[in-house]
Amino acid sequence: MKANFINGTRLVFIIIAIFLLCGFSYSPKYKLIPAKVLTKIKIPKWYHEGIYFDGKEIWVNNGKKGNTWVVDTANGKIIREIKPVAAFTEAITPKDKGVFFATDWGTEKVYTVHIENDKMAVLSEKSVAPAHPAGALWNGSGLFVITWTRSLTGTKFHLLKMDGDLNILSTTEIKKILEPAHLAWDGRNTWISCWYSRRVYKVDIESLEILGYFKSPAAKTTGIAWDGKHFWVTGTYSDLYKMEVQN
């Protein structure tokens, strides 16, 4: 019995060693893009998700029945609160003047909305169940939405490409970014935040090829936005950071 126990123990250690060598030790090498924090703005604690720059202020979406905060980037004060379309707003991205796309994790839907009396009012909606929609980005020609689909065998991540009427044009599995969260567009490139690794990846939106990444100062990185010159970043329970990225 003792010999069998020892042999069994050795076998377990060998299996663990192989797993570590072939699993955790393998990490694709991507180009590190230099970045630094210029400003840290304290914002109240909640469940911060995607953010959006409207040309002057930053909108911070909150899950768990939270409102969307419009934050004055000069002093960090919340100057406006917008009630959500449901209870767990993930992202908001502008479509046309006064019209936005919004995603809600809990309802598993993508919406077009307009803001009426500081509340998101539904114009149209599209269910993506059983997937949960997270980050969303309208780049002028297509709407891109990150989804998480959970099952007993794990979670799969996808990028949906939709048209302006919320028709799904394509679905691509995201395999190289673990727990992708939100999206940003800098006019040339798409960026995807990673909740797991505190990285923000620069990607080719069509092929999902990773072109590089910069390190996020926010734990559990979620929202990212481009203001025309700088990136803004936040995390689930983090503050808001203005960053200079050598793009």
**Domain at 138, CATH number:** 2.120.10.30
The sign of the CA dihedral 26, 27, 28, 32 is negative
Does 9 map to a domain?
no
Say whether pTM exceeds 0.85: yes
State residue 8's pLDDT score. 52
Instruction: Give the model's pLDDT for residue 233.
Output: 98
pLDDT at 7: 55
β-pair partners for 40: 241
In this structure, is residue 201 part of a structural domain? yes
Is 129 contained in some domain? Answer: yes
93 located within any domain: yes
Mean pLDDT by 10 residues, the chain (247 residues): 48 44 53 96 95 97 96 93 96 96 98 97 98 96 96 96 97 96 94 96 93 96 97 97 93
Does 90 reside within a domain?
yes
On whether residue 19 sits in a domain, the answer given is no
With respect to residue 2, please indicate whether it lies within any of the assigned structural domains: no
What integer pLDDT is reported at residue 28 of this predicted model?
65
Domain total of the chain: 1
Q: Considering the domain boundaries, does residue 21 fall inside one?
A: no
State how far the Cα of 113 lies from the Cα of 140, in Å rounded to an integer.
17
Which domain covers residue 57, as residue numbers?
30-245
